[in-house]
Amino acid sequence: MNITDVRIRKVNEEGKMKAIVSITFDDEFVVHDIKIIEGQNGLFIAMPSRKIGDGDFRDIAHPLTSETRSRIRDAIFAEYENVLSQKEE
């Protein structure tokens, strides 16, 4: 499965949530509402999730392997950096 599109839909300069992302696979399947979050150890991605009864959150969609998570993360961060550099110009 190939990542064919990454769209940064909303960029926040304030707060911990830096952006909301949609990613498309093979021009056939899209996952919306992936978040770029500023954590204690730098940026990370949070997959779309929903709140369950006891206040915890459970991912709605997520990669099954660390290799796939890395490919998704790298593609998202590359596009995020691209968007930030275009904003600065």
Read off the pLDDT of residues 28-60 as tens digits, 9 standing for 90 and up.
999 999 999 999 999 999 999 998 888 888 889
Q: CA torsion sign, 74 to 89 to 24 to 39?
A: positive
Q: Taking the complete model, does pTM exceed 0.75, yes or no?
A: yes
Q: What are phi and psi of 78, to 5 degrees?
A: -65, -45
Model confidence over 58-67: pLDDT tens digits? 889 899 999 9
Residue showing tokens 């990613």 = 23
Tell me how far CA of residue 29 lies from CA of 37, 66, 84, in angstroms: 23, 20, 26
Please tell me the predicted confidence (pLDDT) of residue 8: 95
Q: Is 31 helix (H, G, I), strand (E, B) or coil?
A: strand
* 40 secondary structure, DSSP code: T
